[in-house]
Homo-oligomer: A and B are copies of this chain.
């Protein structure tokens, strides 16, 4: 039997749904879930070895976060195009080299979002930052060691930023 989906609410390209899901144990559940088109997360590194981050005010948590640039995939947009667009919109940099590093899932418990990770090198500054109405952003450059200290101290707490850096390091990219 195909799954049945009932949409409760939609905003931007996201929706909250209730869906009928058959489990591997033979039971069936009605599961409440966020349907999300997916996102790109970009780890940009300058020639000097500094990582380009954004300091961003997050309305959901009412505070500033130091994060890697990232954003939601638009309709009919490839993941790679999304990564390049978000990099320029949020940091004002273009990358000549952009390498996929796999995917992570931020909230598998009740959200189907997949975050596609990229490392971006050979950067040139275009200064073309473009912010949405609810985005308040500053660009911050920082060496990896300082960023890792901020992860330990808790100043950097964004899971996708920590996961992306960890994956890049374990994979030998940084």
* Interface, chain A (partner B; CB < 8 A): 8-9, 11-12, 14, 16, 19, 21, 23-25, 27, 29, 31-34, 57-62, 64-65, 67, 102-113, 115, 133-134, 136, 148, 151-152, 154, 157-160, 162-163, 165-167, 170-171
Cα of A165 to Cα of B170 in the assembled complex, Å: 12
The answer to whether A107 and B106 touch across the interface, beta carbons within 8 angstroms, is yes
- The interface centre, meaning the residue of A9, A108, A136, A148 with most chain B CB atoms within 10 A of its CB, is A108
Which label, helix, strand, loop or mixed, suits the secondary structure of the A interface? mixed
Cα of A56 to Cα of B67 in the assembled complex, Å: 28
Q: A24-B57, A31-B59, A31-B60 are in contact. Are A106 and B103 (CB under 8 A)?
A: no
The answer to whether A110 and B60 touch across the interface, beta carbons within 8 angstroms, is yes
Q: Which residues of B contact A11 (CB under 8 A)?
A: 32
Q: Which of B103, B110, B170 contacts A157 (CB 8 A)?
A: B103
The answer to whether B166 and A151 touch across the interface, beta carbons within 8 angstroms, is yes
The answer to whether A157 and B59 touch across the interface, beta carbons within 8 angstroms, is no
- The interface centre, meaning the residue of A12, A102, A134 with most chain B CB atoms within 10 A of its CB, is A134
Q: Which residues of B contact A108 (CB under 8 A)?
A: 58, 60-61, 65, 67, 158
A39 closest partner in B (C-beta): B109
